Amino acid sequence: MKQKKGLIIGVIVVLALLLIGLFAPENFKNTLASFIAQDLRIALPLAIAAAGLVFGERSGVLNLGAEGMMLTGALFTWIGTAMFAGNPWLGILVGMFSSLLIALLFGFLVITLRSNQTVIGVSMNILALGLTSTIYRVVQSMEMKITGFPSLSDLLAKIPGLGDVLTNKTAIGTQLALVDIPRIGSFLDTIFSQNIMIYIGIILIIFLNFVLFKTDLGLKVRAVGEYPKACDTMGINVYKIRYGSVLFSGLLTGLAGGLLVLDIKTFVENVTAGKGFIAIAAVIFGKYTPIGALGASLVFGGAQAVQYLIQAIGLKAPSDLMNMIPYIVTIVALAGFIGKTHVPAASTKPYTKE
């Protein structure tokens, strides 16, 4: 039933886009297409982080250190990319490794030592802010050449033989061959000619949704978050599942931080600016499912992309007030939808084996 609802929403969105693409005036189409592109770009790191956090949450660990892990991943992706001559793939691996270490410390404190998850989570953020800003000031002067990930069109163009069929080389760069379709072509090109990680990310999130709800491992994760004692009796190692989930959420939040840095192509102190917390809100708003979190991230991303939309329409609004929007939308989403979701029963409760 739930999946059907998702499918229906998806079909409606696609149909609406097609109709708009075919019949709406050119101006409107351009604005909308760039809004969607911005939304996807902003939502990607949020959705990736949230998908990882879903696993932690489902296993009963509320990872409020997500912000710090994201920040750590961001700095070390930046350093790693510079170390590997601008290679974003190797750079982001360095970033993910660094956030994994923070997640390991977090996991040790809240799972093994059974410390208060909220306080430890908050301290992870303070730690990460301190460490990253201190290290950043030391390495600041390094030569940093960051290229970011290739776009879909750039990547398709490199396929031997098919490259020329799938893409067009124009004055403004490589475009998808879709662009030749009358009326709707350039509209679709703006939406689909994205950073390749967006497609990888969406596929990953769908895959994670499958793992969580259709596999044995996913069932174990969910069971441990609901009734750890029963799991223990059944021979499931609660600590192992929780460590695994926390480390995985650390990996993905680090990936998210890396994506953020590779997107804006620079690092600044506290570059995440609350995005880790917004990702946690996306987990709740998305009803603790990876795909739901993706949807929630698109809503939050849209709240930020509205700024570009307003600029595009030519409205003048103070940027400081515009900057508040994503945070306010997060608060409203959190307040408006929280009662309608089921929080894992063992959330934030440490488990003691007897």
Partner 1 sequence: MKKKLSTGDVLIKVLTPIVAVGVALILGMILIALLGKDVGVAMGDFFEGALGNPIRIGDTLSKVAPLTFTALAFAIASRCGLVNIGAEGQFYLGGIAAGLVAIYAPGLGIPGIGGAVVLLLAIIAGFIAGGFWGLIAGWLKVSFGANEVITTVMLNYVATFLNKYLIGYNGPFYDGSGNPQSEAFKVSFERGFLVDGSDMTIAIILGLLALVFYYIFFFKMKKGYEMRVVGLNSTAAEYAGIKVKSNALLAMFLAGGFGGLAGVSELLSAQSRILPDFSSNYGFDGIAVALLGQLNPLGMGLSAVLFAVLKSGGLAMGNKGTISPYIVNAIQAFVIILVVASVFIQDEYTRRKLIRQAKATKGE
Select 162 or 331, whichever has its Cβ closest to partner 1. 331
Closest CA to 173 of 160, 186, 161: 186
Tell me the three-class secondary structure of 162-204, residue by residue.
Answer: CHHHHEEEECCEEEEHHHHCCCCHHHHHHHHCCEHHHHHHHHH
Rounded to the nearest whole angstrom, what is the least distance from the CB of residue 74 to partner 1 in the complex? 15
Q: How far is the CB of 26 from partner 1 (least distance, A)?
A: 32
Cβ-contact 232, 238 below 8 angstroms: yes
Strand-pairing partners, residue 169, are 174
Shortest reach from residue 137's CB to partner 1, in Å: 4
Token couple for 349: 């409760």
Q: Determine the Cα–Cα distance for residues 219 and 222; give it in Å rounded to an integer.
A: 5
Rg of the chain on CA atoms, in Å: 21
Pick 104 or 135: Cβ nearer partner 1: 135
CA distance 183 to 188: 10
Question: Please, what is the minimum distance in Å from the beta carbon of residue 154 to partner 1?
Answer: 35
In the complex, the residues that contact partner 1 under the rule CB under 8 A are 64, 67, 105, 109, 113-116, 118-124, 126-127, 129-131, 133-138, 269, 273-274, 277-278, 280-281, 284, 318, 320-321, 323-324, 327-328, 330-331, 334-336, 338-339
Closer CB to partner 1, 33 or 127, in the complex: 127
Residue number with CB closer to partner 1 (204 or 305): 305
DSSP-assigned letters across all residues of 229-242: HHHHHTT--HHHHH
CB of 163 to partner 1, least distance (A): 44
Q: CB-wise, 113 or 345, nearer to partner 1?
A: 113
